Structure 1
Amino acid sequence: MVGRITLLIICFFSCFSTAQAELSENKKALIMELFPSATVIEEKLADFPVYPVYQLQELLGYAYESIDLSRLQGFAGQPISMLVGMDNRGRFTGVKVLNHHEPVFLHGLGEEPLFDFVNQYKGQSLREQIIINTSNTGRPKRTSDGNMVYFDGVSKATVSVLIINDTLLSSALKVARSKLAGFVQTAQTRAKPDFFERLSWQQLVERGYIGHWKLSRDAIESEFGRPLADYPQGFEGTDDSPFTELFFGYINAPMVGRNLLGDQGYQKLMAYIDPGAQVMLVLSGGAFPHISESFIPGSNPERLSLSQNGLAVEMRDLNLSGQGLKLQAAGMPDLVAHNFFRMGGSAGFSPGADATLNVHIELARNHLVRDSIIMDVPVRFNTDLFETVEPAPSFMDEREPIWIGLWKQRWWQIAILLTALTVLTVFFARQKTLSRHPKRVHRFRWGFLFFTLFYIGFFAQGQLSVVNIYTLFLAIWDGFSLNVFLLDPIIFILWVYTFISLFIWGRGLFCGWLCPFGALQEMAAWLGEKLRLRQIKVPERWHRRLILIKYPILIGLLGTAFYSLALAEKLVEVEPFKTSITLLFVRHWPFVVYAVGLLVIGMFINKFYCRYLCPLGAGLAIIGRLRLFNWLDRVELCGTPCQHCKNACGINAIRKDGRIDYDECIQCLECVVILNDDEQCVDKRLQNKKHQRQAYILATDAGNS
């Protein structure tokens, strides 16, 4: 009997394991879409998580799930799972999105833009450098040699598409290096740290420490098959002067970096760049420099590209114009342009291995006809500069985090935001003094509200949301990583500032000054007053009950997120932020009606949504109870009997007894202005009358004497 039971248990688990290992029909159908000519799809390999795909006996390529090879977290804190097909030559046969939780695509823009974006990868090769065009500059899809490809990004979803691109390229490269011939990673090299002697420019070039390539005018005319005079650009110089001349050097090598920048300049550059960053200096002379007049510092050069071992290597300008670095090698020629480029991307870069620098030359005969060629320049430095190192097994995970590039890209937006927050902090710290000037306070407040709505909200997309709160809880639950929160610098800075301010001023600083939808509501309330719409005052007893509604909403959303993130993403539409601020009301009509309806109600009931429905405000109010100070002064007559501040408070955050309800207060400072105004504050008026009476008595006594 025991033997039979044991046999049944073994059979059960054997069947269960087989069922688990079998390729599901749904997944097989999706792989067939990636490889339409496939006849055989094998099970996932035991040694590497890919599905081999065959046409009869011929291996077509591999399909794999990105989540098995790259778990880079998306904007919602969860990885984006995709099914990817790649043929034997390292080309994508297609990409299918299996699962994601990106808020902007769920009930926002919709998933169609997401699917359109990943469809761009079909037919693209790992040997190409794929660049996401996030600036809508109208760049071509592909450069003339096919080595550099520009993909259309998705407006309002820049972070998400960059994460998808990084996930696809890093996972695909792992598959290629493991399974495809021609993609095996060469031995890694690095610069020798102690190899240095003081050399002149000519010595650096002669010994091969700096690469040199020159293209004569005769050579370019031979390549194009016509004289340069046929091109109206007007190339200055004599017949003996070069059409273009390139010099390039690996700056990380002390032999090159210290000789070109000096010891102090070299140390300054090494301290400026991130650990592990690789930098190549490219200099050019002649009529056709390596960058065009329209080149944008900090971007990828359109006239240059680099490849190594058949893979494109990203070149991105470091934009070091403000760092005070000067080239100072003895005997250095006068060159037209120079740029420091960071080398890297998914393929990485080994400085001691051979590479190819591609010079893209495009000349316009007229506004319709352009001639173009690609000149391959061998990149081979003197091997004395380098030493071989063992390739790191986790190479793909040690690349520069994607958030660093995003922060660099948005540096000026960050600078504006930090400046604004500094000004706001100074204003709040000196509110008692500044509130003595009511007109200035009102002007500053409305000016800052416009800044919050149009810059922080519409432009920089800095609307905080309850989504960020449950993303934090889920991240802590699954294993906390700060990287996912650093993906959007504006949101991150606002959250850090808001969190700190909660312990100083409470929730009001954010809700009254930094919330774009809150600013929009105040403008709607102002418009309602100007249109002389009837302003509804919610009775006190109902108001005290209604303000509690937002707390169950918050608890429900947080609890649902742990049960079903997909359901929570639907329920979070109680927030109108995505519709109004992120998507500018360009959305399906029910969402627009809801958001506009809240604003219309706000024209009759001041900040209706903030007061009664906002789960984000509820969460901030809970933490705000830990504030260290009560900034809003009260006097003895406040509430007993004076009700002036209470009647003037648009959101009814002052109780009848004069106490400030900090859980509801938005720190508009109106009550502070009233308290410091001799004409509005009853206490001040009584004190002034008392002083006037005493002065009159003293004056009368003095006259009688």
Structure 2
Amino acid sequence: MPGRLLLLLLIVCFLPAAHGALDDDKRALIQELFPKATDIRDKVPGYPVYPVYQLQELIGYAYESVDLSPLQGFAGKPVSMLIGLDTRGRFTGVRILNHHEPVFLHGLGEEPLLSFIDQYEGRSLTEQIIINTSNSRTGKDTDGNVVRFDGVSKATVSVLIINDTILSSALKVAREKLDGFTQAPPTRARTDLYQPLSWQQLLDRGYIGHWQISPEAIEEKLGSPLADYPDAPKPEPGEPFTELYFGYINAPMVGRNLLGDEGFNRLQEKTGPEAQVLAVMSRGLYPHLSDDFTPGSSPERLGLQQNNLSLDMRDLNMFDQTIRINADGIPDMATATLFRVGGNAGFNPGADATLKLGVTLRKNHLVADSTNLDIPVAFAGELFETVEVAPRPEDNRQPVWIGLWKERWLTISILVLSLTILTVFFARQRTLSRYPKLVHRFRWGFLFFTLFFIGFYAQGQLSVVNIYTLLLAIWDGFSLNVFLLDPVLFILWTYTFVSLFVWGRGLFCGWLCPFGALQEMAAWLGEKLKFRQLKVPENWHRRLILLKYPILLVLLGTAFYSLALAEKLVEVEPFKTGITLFFVRYWPFVVYAVGLLVIGMFIHKFYCRYLCPLGAGLAVLGKLRLFSWLDRVELCGKPCQHCKNSCGINAIHKDGRIDYDECIQCLECVVILADENQCVDKRLATKRRRQADILATDAG
């Protein structure tokens, strides 16, 4: 008995150590992140980091991102990374341990992903890292604080998730383990403190910060007189080079006096209770915003630091007739901006911070001089109160998806408008079907919009991947955030899901699927080239349309067994090759996708009808539709077969019934039914009316 008890105690004692022990592969990766390391120790008890030493000196920490920031990736699983951070808060490198991002695994390949994470090496948490999705700029900005990384085209969501994971996890490690990154007691603005004050009173009491630098001082910093810079404006006597004013708008004493009660309330309504807003105003020769500043973006000249961490600053672009700075006695300003501040690092308004103004003046098109100016930010203490329970900034920061939706507001607006128009068109299809040319032109116009805007530009191709991502998310613990990361896909999926209960699967498959639109165009081209159009025999057609359902079941079942295998099998969908990657891919994938389009030139929408697992999934849900919009008449199929013969995908039975599981809602049969020259029922009715008129005339 004592022996067993001793064994149990040994197991309990060594279990945590074994759990935190390093295997050889991970030790080798950490050695790559810290080449000078001589001692890599096991995981610290109570905190998931691996201390790294050079002899007896601590030089940094390595950690796995999933231990500190398990943010779900685009495929519904976190991107697991090994990250190195030295004792000064600089990244020594990032290594991918495991990921399931489809666009990198079986699309672009992993080289763009590795190139992206290589940009973190040598960068510091004191810098503001911004992902440049346009790939037009990279490196340090003129203020020396903002760093722009090259994004990855076609993988914007994935790289933004990776960036957020790296920064948020590094901030946790820095605040827990690194000197100089600790936080002062958290504060918030006092909501009960307010009295009407003039501009000068706000300045005198320290509610508004003020800083300026003279032309002589900036010349000393630059090492050259302003006359050496042709583009620099010439100062008037006594005019400052730059004069800055700044205030914390969330404090009613500041916000209500600067914006007025109506403007203050409107701003809070628009930004929400969690937003922290800093007003910055400037005048003089060199304002805090450049002439080419883009409203709604982060400033290039101005940065904000607190606790050695760079904070995000983004223009709210909210000035209008009700929101404007108009305090009593305020001097004329060259520029005034309301910035949302915080980001991953969070912002403590009652603690000291630093605005960093970057000044760059050009002597000619090749030579420029630069300097960085540190502007202390400290407001009067009575504006704030200490928060008893410190909120974790990394838990209360603005979700990544909010920034993505704001950045893509124009795309979202166009998409929502187009879906609204499509909804109105479908709701009034019975009326509009009386105008065949209008229906045909609208359909083809919308198909081109779907292919080029929704597909190629907005990357809004839905996929069966989204279905098993949803199922895995439900299985592992559902979070809506991962689905909000791509606003276009989220809007399309929401619209498609709702429309399934109204019109069935056809609204998406026939109007909103970019690859489906491409197949329609391939079929049209085949007809124009006079390719023989092959009709699959009815008995074979009814069997082949069932093939896509077992394909769907295999994909969904495999996803729960092995996500990596499911990601390979999902290549049965040609969407990634044809729409996401514009057919620029390893040749077997291109041959497959192009081959399906070529077959579609002979057999109308071959892939959609027989192979598409996404169509199968939508057809299953489409069985729950509430309405059958496509009218039938007594003669449909008995004996009239005109609609059936005109249906390119053979979604009409011989007896005239519509097969809604296969129908793509092209509305061709609706047009035929409303046309007195095509519909047999209407032609017979017209003939009977004429005969009745003749008989009535003869009788008269």
Task: Classify the secondary structure of the residue corresponding to 2:224.
Answer: coil
Task: Classify the secondary structure of the residue corresponding to 1:674.
Answer: helix
Q: How far is 1:52 from its partner? A: 1.0
What is the match of residue 101 of structure 1?
100
User: Is 1:621 the counterpart of 2:619 in the alignment?
Assistant: yes
Q: Is the 8 A contact 2:344 2:393 kept in 1?
A: no
Question: Is the deviation greater in 653-662 or in 201-210?
Answer: 201-210
Q: How far is 1:175 from its partner? A: 0.8
User: Is 1:48 the counterpart of 2:47 in the alignment?
Assistant: yes
Distance in 1 between residues matched to 2:533 and 2:621, nearest whole Å: 31
- 4+ long deviations beyond 6 Å: 2-18
What is the match of residue 149 of structure 1?
147
What is the match of residue 158 of structure 1?
156
Distance in 2 between residues matched to 1:55 and 1:221, nearest whole Å: 44
Which of the numbers 512, 515, 540 marks the counterpart of 1:514? 512
Taking a change above 3 Å as real, the CA distance of residues 306 and 6 of structure 1, as seen in their structure-2 partners, is closer
Distance in 1 between residues matched to 2:593 and 2:319, nearest whole Å: 46
User: Is 1:492 the counterpart of 2:498 in the alignment?
Assistant: no
Deviation string 1:497-545 (CA, Å, 9 cap, x unpaired) is 0000000000000000000000000000000001001101000000000
Q: Is the 8 A contact 2:133 2:150 kept in 1?
A: yes
Q: How do 1:549-560 and structure 2 match up within 5 A? A: 549-560=547-558
What is the match of residue 83 of structure 1?
82
Deviation string 1:631-684 (CA, Å, 9 cap, x unpaired) is 000001100110000000000000100000000000000000000001111111
Task: Classify the secondary structure of the residue corresponding to 2:469.
Answer: helix
Letter in 2 for 1:654: I
Question: Is the deviation greater in 423-432 or in 13-22?
Answer: 13-22
Aligned residues: 700
Q: How do 1:63-82 and structure 2 match up within 5 A? A: 63-82=62-81
Distance in 2 between residues matched to 1:254 and 1:21, nearest whole Å: 49
Taking a change above 3 Å as real, the CA distance of residues 408 and 322 of structure 1, as seen in their structure-2 partners, is farther
What is the match of residue 132 of structure 1?
131
Q: How do 1:151-300 and structure 2 match up within 5 A? A: 151-233=149-231, 235=233, 238-300=236-298
Distance in 2 between residues matched to 1:533 and 1:85, nearest whole Å: 60
Taking a change above 3 Å as real, the CA distance of residues 276 and 243 of structure 1, as seen in their structure-2 partners, is same
What is the match of residue 568 of structure 2?
570
Task: Classify the secondary structure of the residue corresponding to 1:631.
Answer: coil
Letter in 2 for 1:614: C
Q: How far is 1:484 from its partner? A: 0.4
Letter in 1 for 2:104: F
Question: Is the deviation greater in 573-582 or in 357-366?
Answer: 357-366
Letter in 1 for 2:497: F
Q: Is the 8 A contact 2:16 2:45 kept in 1?
A: no
Q: How far is 1:358 from its partner? A: 1.0
Taking a change above 3 Å as real, the CA distance of residues 408 and 117 of structure 1, as seen in their structure-2 partners, is same
Question: Is the deviation greater in 674-683 or in 267-276?
Answer: 267-276
What is the match of residue 648 of structure 2?
650
Which of the numbers 326, 329, 337 marks the counterpart of 2:327? 329
What is the match of residue 439 of structure 1?
437
User: Is 1:694 the counterpart of 2:676 in the alignment?
Assistant: no
Distance in 2 between residues matched to 1:193 and 1:9, nearest whole Å: 57
TM-score by length of 2: 0.97
What is the match of residue 448 of structure 2?
450
Q: How far is 1:324 from its partner? A: 3.8
Q: How do 1:654-693 and structure 2 match up within 5 A? A: 654-693=652-691
User: Is 1:313 the counterpart of 2:311 in the alignment?
Assistant: yes
Distance in 2 between residues matched to 1:10 and 1:311, nearest whole Å: 44
What is the match of residue 21 of structure 2?
22
Deviation string 1:546-595 (CA, Å, 9 cap, x unpaired) is 00000000011000000001110110000000111111111111111111
Q: Where in structure 2 are there 5+ consecutive unaligned residues?
A: none
Q: Is the 8 A contact 2:104 2:110 kept in 1?
A: yes
What is the match of residue 37 of structure 2?
38
What is the match of residue 118 of structure 1?
117
Task: Classify the secondary structure of the residue corresponding to 2:323.
Answer: coil
Q: How far is 1:6 from its partner? A: 8.3
Task: Classify the secondary structure of the residue corresponding to 1:208.
Answer: coil
Taking a change above 3 Å as real, the CA distance of residues 424 and 22 of structure 1, as seen in their structure-2 partners, is same
What is the match of residue 462 of structure 1?
460
Letter in 2 for 1:663: D
Q: Percent identity?
A: 69
Q: How far is 1:136 from its partner? A: 2.6
TM-score by length of 1: 0.97
Distance in 1 between residues matched to 2:388 and 2:4, nearest whole Å: 53
What is the match of residue 401 of structure 1?
399
Taking a change above 3 Å as real, the CA distance of residues 160 and 322 of structure 1, as seen in their structure-2 partners, is farther
Distance in 2 between residues matched to 1:393 and 1:266, nearest whole Å: 25
Q: Where in structure 1 are there 5+ consecutive unaligned residues?
A: none
Letter in 2 for 1:688: T
What is the match of residue 363 of structure 2?
365
Distance in 2 between residues matched to 1:700 and 1:23, nearest whole Å: 105
Distance in 1 between residues matched to 2:613 and 2:431, nearest whole Å: 34
Distance in 1 between residues matched to 2:299 and 2:5, nearest whole Å: 68
Deviation string 1:16-59 (CA, Å, 9 cap, x unpaired) is 87654431111111111111122221111111111111122221
Task: Classify the secondary structure of the residue corresponding to 2:313.
Answer: strand
Q: How far is 1:250 from its partner? A: 0.5
Distance in 2 between residues matched to 1:120 and 1:197, nearest whole Å: 49
Distance in 1 between residues matched to 2:250 and 2:526, nearest whole Å: 63
Task: Classify the secondary structure of the residue corresponding to 1:104.
Answer: helix
Which of the numbers 558, 582, 585 marks the counterpart of 1:584? 582
Taking a change above 3 Å as real, the CA distance of residues 310 and 14 of structure 1, as seen in their structure-2 partners, is closer
Q: How far is 1:137 from its partner? A: 3.2
Taking a change above 3 Å as real, the CA distance of residues 4 and 226 of structure 1, as seen in their structure-2 partners, is closer
Task: Classify the secondary structure of the residue corresponding to 1:183.
Answer: coil
Question: Is the deviation greater in 550-559 or in 367-376?
Answer: 367-376
Deviation string 1:598-636 (CA, Å, 9 cap, x unpaired) is 001000100000000000000000000010000000001
Question: Is the deviation greater in 220-229 or in 462-471?
Answer: 220-229
Distance in 2 between residues matched to 1:6 and 1:207, nearest whole Å: 69
Q: Is the 8 A contact 1:187 1:391 kept in 2?
A: no
Distance in 1 between residues matched to 2:577 and 2:315, nearest whole Å: 37
Letter in 1 for 2:400: I
Distance in 2 between residues matched to 1:380 and 1:21, nearest whole Å: 43
Q: Is the 8 A contact 2:74 2:101 kept in 1?
A: yes
Distance in 2 between residues matched to 1:684 and 1:618, nearest whole Å: 35
Distance in 1 between residues matched to 2:21 and 2:262, nearest whole Å: 62
Q: How far is 1:243 from its partner? A: 2.1
Question: Is the deviation greater in 217-226 or in 348-357?
Answer: 217-226
Q: Is the 8 A contact 2:142 2:301 kept in 1?
A: no
Letter in 2 for 1:550: K
What is the match of residue 420 of structure 2?
422
Task: Classify the secondary structure of the residue corresponding to 1:314.
Answer: strand
Which of the numbers 301, 304, 319 marks the counterpart of 2:302? 304
Letter in 1 for 2:114: F
Q: Is the 8 A contact 2:278 2:338 kept in 1?
A: yes
Distance in 1 between residues matched to 2:209 and 2:3, nearest whole Å: 77
